[in-house]
Amino acid sequence: MPAKARELLQDQSNGLPVWIRPPKIGVEFYTGLSRAKLYEGAGKGHFRSVSIRQPGQVKGTRLFNLASILAFIEKCEQAAETPDPNVTLQAGDGNNN
């Protein structure tokens, strides 16, 4: 087995894959994100993705790094839990200003 393949197999933690493919329909199993959200997040640089294709080939396979997606979700969760001192809740309307 090549060293790089052995290294990638060792990268798996707790049985989770290192790279995932976007779902054709519905949401991705490990993240709950749709195909559109995966492409959007990768396009904005929120998490890592790579296109696997041969030189000169138009179509390829897009893979997303699961660890970087989970880290992004955790960062979003922490940001949501941290109150913003510049935002106040108006009594009775439930809107943030």
CA distance 12 to 89: 43
Which residue in 24, 25, 38, 36 sits closest to 69, CA to CA? Answer: 38
Look up the pTM and report it.
Answer: 0.71
- For each successive 10 residues of the chain (97 residues), what is the average pLDDT? 63 78 95 97 96 93 95 92 66 48
Residues in Cβ contact with 38 at an 8 Å cutoff, skipping those fewer than 6 apart: 22, 28, 31, 49, 64, 69
pLDDT in the model for residue 96: 47
* Extents of the domains making up the chain: 19-75
CB 62 within 8 A of CB 21: yes
Read off the tokens for 58. Answer: 């138009």
